[in-house]
Amino acid sequence: MAHLLRMLSPRGISNIGSSSRSTILTHRAITATCRNVVFPSQQQALQRPSSLQNLQSLRAFSATPQRMKRKQKARKEPRITHIRYYLYHPLTPRALRFSRNRALRHWTIHRAWKLAQRNRFEAQERSLERQYNSMYSACEALRLMDNDGFTESDRESLAGLAPHPNGSKEIGRLYRIAMLKHEIWKGVPIEYARIQTETPGHEPWNHSWRR
């Protein structure tokens, strides 16, 4: 197409009239270009549906707001809005640009800080795991013992120990009492009963609540 436009320029037209050979070549070029535009080849015709499908698939990820019915506002994608806000916000600092040595020092300090954070997190996880295992072992011991502090295996091993008069009813009684949660929040204000989270809730404070 660019070759055809060069030929149709004033300089190209003057060159066309200079010789009959250039006229024949120009006529052939114009004919081939028009044939490709008006009657595309079979390969180009087969490629058109795939390009249309690609356009339709890309429209779903377009940043342009989609128009709804008349007299309605355009629908905005909240994710794209947030990305634009945080990328182009005036308070967003510019990206760090360091030299090679300074970038290496920055990367070393950053990795050391992340390693220290990971070690501290793993230590906290191990401490919580030990506490959980201790509580589980204590509850399991309470579940298997009776009021006297003996399990069935202890009574069987001790030959002179008589069986419990109430039978298996008293086994696990201490565990059941420990698992009761009646009036657990009696001495604590209800405002402190909310589970502590890292993010605020949908309703920060319930002003309509009365004791």
* Distance of alpha carbon 167 from alpha carbon 146, whole angstroms: 10
Burial class (CB in 10 A: 0-12, 13-18, 19+), 146: buried
Task: Return the closest-CA partner of residue 67 out of 58, 57, 59.
Answer: 59
Q: What is the pLDDT of residue 37?
A: 47
Q: How confident is the model at residue 155 (pLDDT cuts 50, 70, 90)?
A: confident
* Distance of alpha carbon 82 from alpha carbon 91, whole angstroms: 14
Alpha-carbon distances, residue 161 vs 141, 142, 155, 209 (angstroms): 20, 20, 6, 57
As a whole-number percent, the residues of the chain with pLDDT over 90 amount to: 19
Average pLDDT, integer, range 124-136: 96
Burial class (CB in 10 A: 0-12, 13-18, 19+), 123: exposed
DSSP-assigned letters across all residues of 141-174: HHHH--TTS--HHHHHH-TTPPPPTTGGGSTTHH
Average pLDDT, the chain: 72
Task: Return the closest-CA partner of residue 63 out of 78, 42, 45, 43.
Answer: 78
pLDDT exceeds 50 at position 92: yes
Looking at the domain assignment, is residue 35 inside a domain? no
Looking at the domain assignment, is residue 153 inside a domain? yes
Strand partners, 66: 75
* Distance of alpha carbon 73 from alpha carbon 66, whole angstroms: 9
Looking at the domain assignment, is residue 12 inside a domain? no
Looking at the domain assignment, is residue 143 inside a domain? yes
Looking at the domain assignment, is residue 30 inside a domain? no
Looking at the domain assignment, is residue 32 inside a domain? no
Domain count, the chain: 1
Q: Which helix (H) or strand (E) holds 131?
A: helix 100-144
Looking at the domain assignment, is residue 152 inside a domain? yes
Q: What is the pLDDT of residue 196?
A: 72
* Distance of alpha carbon 71 from alpha carbon 73, whole angstroms: 7
pLDDT exceeds 80 at position 172: yes
Average pLDDT, integer, range 127-136: 96
Q: Is the pTM of this model over 0.85?
A: no
Looking at the domain assignment, is residue 157 inside a domain? yes
Q: How confident is the model at residue 16 (pLDDT cuts 50, 70, 90)?
A: very low
Domain of 119 in residue numbering reads as 100-187
